[in-house]
Amino acid sequence: MLALLWKFANDGPLGDDNAKLVKEWIPETYWLSPADIEIFEDRRQWVIKPVNGACGRDVICGAELTEKEWADKIELFLSQPERSYVRQKFILPEI
């Protein structure tokens, strides 16, 4: 759902005011795609989640993995059917 909101926010169907709300309040979220080269280059900024997951199951944080572990997980996830996973910008909570 969040990936769809971000797609609509970027592509225009939400209108300017709603797109602004999405971009201010929802972490950047996109369907995982082979074209996402930036997630390989800066794993510490991304979290990967299954689209049908809940309660944090099967979520991986790039900051918690080695480069090899991250690359192996991304390769595995990309071998799944399209739109099985999303990538979401990692945001540190404010304390």
Question: 38-69, pLDDT tens digit by residue?
Answer: 777 789 999 999 988 878 888 999 999 999 99
Structure tokens at 82: 């399209």
Q: Per the confidence metrics, is the pTM higher than 0.85?
A: no
67 vs 40, 44, 61, 81, CA distance in Å?
Answer: 8, 10, 12, 24
Q: Are 40 and 95 in contact (CB under 8 A)?
A: no
Q: Are 23 and 9 in contact (CB under 8 A)?
A: yes
- Average model confidence (pLDDT) across the chain: 88
In the block, tokens 């795609």 appear at: 33
Q: Which CATH number fits domain 2-89: 3.30.1490, 3.30.70, 3.40.30, 3.40.50?
A: 3.30.1490
Dihedral over Cα of 63, 35, 13, 49: its sign: negative
pLDDT value at position 25? 92
